[in-house]
Amino acid sequence: MTESVIHAKGLVKQFGDLKAIDNLDLDVEQGQIYGFLGPNGCGKTTAIRMLTGLLKPTSGDINVLGLSLPKDAEKLRTQLGYMTQKFSLYSDLTVLENLKFMAALYPFKKQQKQQRIDELLHTYGLDQRVDQMAGSMSGGQRQRLALAAAVINKPKILFLDEPTSAVDPQNRRDFWETLFDLSNAGTTILVTTHYMDEAERCHRLAILESGIKRADGSPKQLMTDMHAHVVEIAGAQTRELKKQLATIDHVISATQLGAQLRVLVKKDVQDPVEFIKQQSFCQDTWQVNSVRPSLEDVFVTCTGQGRQ
């Protein structure tokens, strides 16, 4: 049994009339990569800020690494790493100057400091760009620099707020490789995202919507436990069909994917393929197949009620 390093219970954050986070419970085990999946404005950043002690919760208990927040926020700070959503290092300083500035804020011994910076430059492929201004680097390079800066103090927990929003798919893959290296070395990582492929890589996932946790578990478990069948329909006039499907009670949603329609049917229907075929507007030329659910299907079934 691995220990829980982040533990939150009944977390609420109220901004005026808006409930940004509503009764959030959370347990993250050591070494896990834990994902917050949710649309923009669902409270992901607010949740992270409370878990790092930057925001005071309106009510609820937080315990991170055995320290109670927000009381012990200052003690905790040296053990955390935080990579912000926007690039927040200094664009008018070079790669090396930025890292030196960060290192100077942590209690390093002189020799250790230089050693750690060299190590990071090497690990994150920045050795060639030591004297380049951070502002003149590409999105991928900047993101590597930001990660290097966030882990300069070898944090026990690393918080990443939409880390790959400004990065191309190849860079995103490489970035996740480094995250798994960190996780393998024992770092707990909490990452927010609105990309499905990214969410699917997490060990565990919480789906957030309007500050409420709709579901959590491993991506696989979430897909298995989903409250819907997934049916794919291939045929002509899919746009017309989509409109008609939307009028049926048992259909949660219908989305077009290329030439096909992906339809989510409620779990209380026994045989979804037969169910579709029995509809009055159904034509014999159509191919109807039951398929494996994806994380996007999970996301769509969990959310949507409270949208607006």
Minimum distance, C-beta of residue 203 to another protein, in the bound complex (Å): 24
The residue behind tokens 């954050």 is 13
Among 61, 74, 181, 271, binds another protein (CB under 8 A): 74
Quick one: which H or E segment has residue 25? Answer: strand 18-29
Task: Select from 96-104, 225-233, 235-243, 244-252 the region that touches another protein (CB under 8 A).
Answer: 96-104
The residue behind tokens 């060990």 is 203
- How far does CA 30 lie from the centroid of its chain? 17
Q: How many residues interact with another protein (rule CB under 8 A)?
A: 26
CA distance 64 to 213: 19
Determine contact, residues 64/157, Cβ cutoff 8 Å. yes
The binding track of 122-161 with respect to another protein, each residue x by CB under 8 A or -, is ----------------------------------------
Residue 52 in the binding site for another protein (CB under 8 A): yes
Q: Which is nearer to another protein, 82 or 275 (CB)?
A: 82
Q: Which two tokens stand for residue 125?
A: 């492929």
Among 87, 178, 266, 273, binds another protein (CB under 8 A): 87
Q: Which two tokens stand for residue 222?
A: 């979430």
Among 4, 31, 72, 106, binds another protein (CB under 8 A): 106
Determine contact, residues 155/147, Cβ cutoff 8 Å. no
Q: Which residues contact 299 (CB under 8 A, 6 or more apart)?
A: 37, 196, 207
Among 1, 2, 16, 86, binds another protein (CB under 8 A): 86
For the chain, the distance separating the N- and C-terminal CA atoms, rounded to the nearest angstrom, is 41
Q: Which two tokens stand for residue 267?
A: 């779990």
Residue 63 in the binding site for another protein (CB under 8 A): no
Among 23, 84, 165, 178, binds another protein (CB under 8 A): 84
Residue 92 in the binding site for another protein (CB under 8 A): yes
Q: What residue ranges bind another protein (CB under 8 A)?
A: 52, 54-56, 74, 77-78, 80, 82, 84-93, 97, 101-102, 104-107
